[in-house]
Structure 1
């Protein structure tokens, strides 16, 4: 279970789920930026709730940090930019995560949709095409060209795919409680229709 999944579960228990989801998406983006861009942590002071002198452990809170600790990815610097690169252990874990999420399909649905949104530049068109093929082969349903939906937890899988394709900042992973007009999705995934 990924960081966003745990965070969402905790916030649901405490209430105010919608606000928590917005903050998780905002903070998730900031953590990713902070992990990849030097001095980006200084940007946090402009976010509500930031306390001067507060310490943030990005390594423990970000998916990339967790994967780096496990040795699944490594950070490399090329031409002044920092990238996450998947390791051999990460490739093995990617296969394992694929199987694990496939097994999760057999479990009861938690009534939350996982949405993957990406905006990959035209100059990386081949990577964009590979990602679309991967999403389709994996079983995601395309809502729009760059918006894909899946009913089960796949956060770690998406993080590994981001590292493997080197598209970290171009892809967002969302957990959504309600999705308008989702009957066709429920039927596609053989989920209970309300």
Structure 2
């Protein structure tokens, strides 16, 4: 997190961990988790900020409000569960030793699905892939779970191919880019 607090991730994780979370209790629970990350930051009105973030997550379809016995609770939607899975998959990629194999993603997406194709490019680039050729992207670490998540989320199915390449010629620049030995 590098001193940057991902409130979206904290809120989704908190809601998922507790199953459901009372809206009134959101700020106090989250404040305890967030405080260590804010040592050198300006003073936030965290209760207000977290409520704003929660409202945005509701608006964006990651959370929903449920009512039980006259009390309102937040719970994850299917979209929120997928986002949380994405966080878990991407968190796992940290501190992994390279096994000497390259992970290659190739995709063929029709022009009429340009928006989904651009979203796919953005997601794999954000994950850490670099572009090798036009629709060919490469990454040095295991990421099959991430690719399966993308295939499901973006409904691409067989239009995305995932390969594990044991030998790649002229990979010196790639090794340098990813800081591999």
Q: TM-score range by the shorter chain?
A: 0.5 to 0.7
Match in the other structure for 1:138? 127
In the other structure, the counterpart of 1:109 is: 98
The answer to whether the 8 Å contact 2:96/2:141 transfers is no
Per the alignment, residue 113 of structure 2 pairs with 124
1:97 is the counterpart of 2:97? no
TM-score, normalized by length of structure 2? 0.55
Q: Which has the higher contact order (CA 8 A, sep 6+)?
A: 1
The root-mean-square deviation of aligned C-alpha atoms, in Å, is: 1.3
Runs of 4+ with deviation above 6 angstroms? none
Unaligned runs of 5+ in 1: 1-85
> In the alignment, what sits opposite 2:177?
188
**C-alpha separation in 2, matches of 1:87 and 1:94:** 11
1-structure distance, mates of 2:165, 2:89: 21
CA distance in 2, matches of 1:167, 1:107: 28
Secondary structure of residue in 2 paired with 1:111: coil
Following superposition, the deviation at residue 87 of structure 1 comes to 5.5
Larger radius of gyration: 2
Residue 162 of structure 2 is aligned to residue 173 of structure 1:
yes
Show the 5 A alignment for 1:40-55. Answer: none
Give the drift of 1:88.
4.2
